[in-house]
Chain A
């Protein structure tokens, strides 16, 4: 059942990519959406077994490799936390797929878009359900590549290409950290399996922790590595709702939660998480693009999740991952509805006016939840994290400051988009889009009510007085003074903490110089001119010969068959 739930999106995506031209855009969209719905059904059945009945199991599909007694087997595990996370991914993925069918109705290349979304969801499920770090890494790379393709969807626009490349390059730094962490884990514990590592661990490995935290910093866009997330808003809104709110950005946090007890570096996580809450939250003060405000809000909330893991409260962190993912996806979809109805206008200075509709209601509900108003699921998990973070003074101060900052930019956004007057424009949001927004908002509110009913001992447990005062200050500032001039708070926040400036100056320009020297010195001079005729001339002669005969497709097929046979013989 759980294997079916993981494979359905991938199968739907592959059919869409492979046969999209034959079955048409509508046909492949239906296949993609139905495969997601089946995945929701299967994972929901598995959720009942694992959460309600407490069943734990591991389904092994095939043995990937063997080194002595150590075997790496690909499969899916079924535990409470794993299946809960999978359920969130497939529910959000399914609703976003239906939403994007309407949102992307007038765009080209829809087959490719919907199929890559499915493959992305499949990769995320592979990451979440893995029992070992190698399979987790397959999913990790899969979501990275799909994210690049989806961010750069509008490939004729220069900025989307740059944004996709930026996301890829910054995430490569984290990918390198994860790879090193896998190697270190094997050296330290003799295995890459989570279960084996947890059973043999004597002391948490700090160095491995630092390497894995590099992956968290980039994937979950923590302080210093957050520049790619705001630029990733170049992609279509369904991409932002699925990838940059609920799934890809939470992958780093999820991996750290799975490795609790194995890796050290909790102090670093508290530092990074607490710092990110304020560092990234402050960027929302100046942002004028509605999607960038929500993106900065996501980065700030991810800081809460990392902080929670650092103080040893992984249950609250996973709870916040799930609750926040749903509400933030709904917030992005609502913003997308507003953008779509206002002819692609994204600047909050121009979004005022017009009547209340489902999208605007979604923005209000989502923002209230993120701020910490009761009866939202996000409020419940955030409030627990704030309470647990009191174990660390630094964590406590940053989490409380985060409440005020979140309130400020959320109220500012609501004021500009919904309350303020503007030119009366005819706004029409597609019915299907409104349905998707309503579904997710209902799930978010119901989950919040249920978690308050089931998990709380007392109805009086709520945000402390201090947090409520800070929230009210943020709300009042957002209403009264929603324009902070550069002089008053300094250029530094307006320039996004000069992140891109120092990254380009100290890292980017040096790597570019090194790359240029390699191309000019080694590639063009040595490698091309080596040999009697030079490898360049040899390749040109070969290419002419192949092209003349017109057998390129046969040679490519031969190459693929050869690789498969070689892989078979090695296995």
Chain B
């Protein structure tokens, strides 16, 4: 599912491959809150949306793994359909407006950055 949908790298974490079920659930929850925050800049109104999301996750806390995985898949589809066209990314974070603006030049002799010969991977 993740490979077919284009999105900024900052929002791709729930769709990463090879995650445990717990990791997928926690990432889905965190990104659901972030998506709600993208849509609702007023903090007081965002808190109401956040409480609703929290209640939905708490209601499904004691399911089996199979039922949980099915719900996570449905949740990921809902996350894609609800995503903001311009999600908020902090300016200096990867994908932000000021990321990599003034990267310092590498040192004159790049070999100084390499580990000693006996520790290099061949």
Using CB atoms and an 8 Å cutoff, list the residues of chain A in contact with chain B. 107-108, 154, 156-158, 234, 286-289, 343-350, 352, 416, 420, 483, 485-486, 494-495
- The verdict on A344 contacting B100 (CB below 8 Å), with A288-B86, A416-B41, A420-B41 known, is no
The answer to whether B100 and A352 touch across the interface, beta carbons within 8 angstroms, is no
The answer to whether A287 and B101 touch across the interface, beta carbons within 8 angstroms, is no
The answer to whether B102 and A286 touch across the interface, beta carbons within 8 angstroms, is no
**Could you say which residues of chain A place their CB within 8 Å of the CB of B57?**
none
The answer to whether A158 and B100 touch across the interface, beta carbons within 8 angstroms, is yes
Neighbour of A345 across the interface among B41, B84, B91, B99, CB < 8 A: B91
Residue picked from B39, B86, B101, most chain A C-beta under 10 Å = B101
- The verdict on A156 contacting B42 (CB below 8 Å), with A289-B97, A494-B85, A495-B85 known, is no
CB distance from A489 to the nearest CB of B (A): 11
Q: List 17 other contacts, CB 8 Å, given A157-B100, A286-B86.
A: A107-B102, A154-B100, A154-B101, A154-B102, A234-B97, A288-B86, A289-B97, A344-B97, A346-B91, A346-B97, A347-B88, A349-B38, A352-B41, A416-B41, A483-B40, A486-B82, A495-B85
Listed A/B pairs (28) with beta-carbon separation below 8 Å: A107-B102, A154-B100, A154-B102, A156-B101, A157-B101, A234-B97, A286-B86, A287-B86, A288-B84, A288-B88, A289-B86, A289-B97, A343-B91, A344-B97, A344-B98, A345-B91, A346-B97, A348-B41, A349-B38, A349-B41, A350-B41, A416-B41, A420-B42, A483-B39, A483-B41, A486-B82, A494-B85, A495-B85
CB distance from B110 to the nearest CB of A (A): 16
**Alpha-carbon gap, A395 to B54, bound state (A):** 50
**Alpha-carbon gap, A288 to B39, bound state (A):** 11
**Could you say which residues of chain B place their CB within 8 Å of the CB of A347?**
88
Residue of B whose beta carbon sits closest to that of A342? B91
Grouping DSSP codes into helix (H, G, I), strand (E, B) and loop, the B interface class, with mixed when no group exceeds half, is: loop
**B63 contacts partner chain A, Cβ-Cβ < 8 Å:** no
The answer to whether B85 and A286 touch across the interface, beta carbons within 8 angstroms, is yes
CB distance from B85 to the nearest CB of A (A): 4
**Alpha-carbon gap, A107 to B102, bound state (A):** 8
CB distance from A556 to the nearest CB of B (A): 26
Mark out the residues of chain B between 78 and 121 whose CB falls within 8 Å of any chain A CB in the assembled complex: 82, 84-86, 88, 91-92, 97-103
Grouping DSSP codes into helix (H, G, I), strand (E, B) and loop, the A interface class, with mixed when no group exceeds half, is: loop
**Alpha-carbon gap, A485 to B42, bound state (A):** 15
**Could you say which residues of chain B place their CB within 8 Å of the CB of A352?**
41
**Alpha-carbon gap, A344 to B99, bound state (A):** 10
CB distance from A500 to the nearest CB of B (A): 11
**Could you say which residues of chain B place their CB within 8 Å of the CB of A287?**
86
**Could you say which residues of chain A place their CB within 8 Å of the CB of B88?**
288, 347, 349-350
**Alpha-carbon gap, A227 to B77, bound state (A):** 29
The answer to whether B91 and A156 touch across the interface, beta carbons within 8 angstroms, is no
Residue of A whose beta carbon sits closest to that of B91? A344
**Could you say which residues of chain A place their CB within 8 Å of the CB of B41?**
348-350, 352, 416, 420, 483
Residue of B whose beta carbon sits closest to that of A351? B41
**Could you say which residues of chain B place their CB within 8 Å of the CB of A343?**
91
**Could you say which residues of chain B place their CB within 8 Å of the CB of A350?**
41, 88
CB distance from B87 to the nearest CB of A (A): 9
Which 5 pairs, one residue from A and one from B, show the smallest C-beta to C-beta distance?
A494-B85, A349-B41, A156-B103, A344-B98, A157-B100
Residue of B whose beta carbon sits closest to that of A348? B41
Residue of A whose beta carbon sits closest to that of B41? A349
**Could you say which residues of chain B place their CB within 8 Å of the CB of A346?**
91, 97
**Could you say which residues of chain B place their CB within 8 Å of the CB of A495?**
85
**Alpha-carbon gap, A32 to B85, bound state (A):** 41
CB distance from A475 to the nearest CB of B (A): 19
**Could you say which residues of chain A place their CB within 8 Å of the CB of B101?**
154, 156-157
**Could you say which residues of chain A place their CB within 8 Å of the CB of B39?**
483, 485
The answer to whether A108 and B102 touch across the interface, beta carbons within 8 angstroms, is yes
**Could you say which residues of chain B place their CB within 8 Å of the CB of A349?**
38, 41, 88
Mark out the residues of chain B between 4 and 39 whose CB falls within 8 Å of any chain A CB in the assembled complex: 38-39
**Could you say which residues of chain A place their CB within 8 Å of the CB of B85?**
286, 486, 494-495
Q: Mark B32-63, 1 if CB is under 8 A from A, else 0.
A: 00000011111000000000000000000000
CB distance from B89 to the nearest CB of A (A): 8
**Could you say which residues of chain B place their CB within 8 Å of the CB of A154?**
100-102
CB distance from B7 to the nearest CB of A (A): 12
**Could you say which residues of chain A place their CB within 8 Å of the CB of B42?**
420
CB distance from B114 to the nearest CB of A (A): 22
**Alpha-carbon gap, A349 to B86, bound state (A):** 11
**Alpha-carbon gap, A271 to B83, bound state (A):** 34
**Could you say which residues of chain B place their CB within 8 Å of the CB of A420?**
41-42
CB distance from B69 to the nearest CB of A (A): 27
**Could you say which residues of chain B place their CB within 8 Å of the CB of A416?**
41
**Alpha-carbon gap, A449 to B90, bound state (A):** 42
**Alpha-carbon gap, A345 to B103, bound state (A):** 18
The answer to whether B99 and A157 touch across the interface, beta carbons within 8 angstroms, is yes
**Alpha-carbon gap, A288 to B86, bound state (A):** 7
CB distance from B90 to the nearest CB of A (A): 8
**Alpha-carbon gap, A346 to B103, bound state (A):** 20
CB distance from A308 to the nearest CB of B (A): 31
CB distance from A193 to the nearest CB of B (A): 45
**Could you say which residues of chain B place their CB within 8 Å of the CB of A348?**
41
The answer to whether A156 and B97 touch across the interface, beta carbons within 8 angstroms, is no
Residue of B whose beta carbon sits closest to that of A292? B86
CB distance from A529 to the nearest CB of B (A): 34
**Alpha-carbon gap, A486 to B101, bound state (A):** 32
CB distance from A411 to the nearest CB of B (A): 15
**Alpha-carbon gap, A344 to B85, bound state (A):** 21
**Could you say which residues of chain B place their CB within 8 Å of the CB of A107?**
102
**Could you say which residues of chain B place their CB within 8 Å of the CB of A234?**
97
Residue of A whose beta carbon sits closest to that of B101? A154
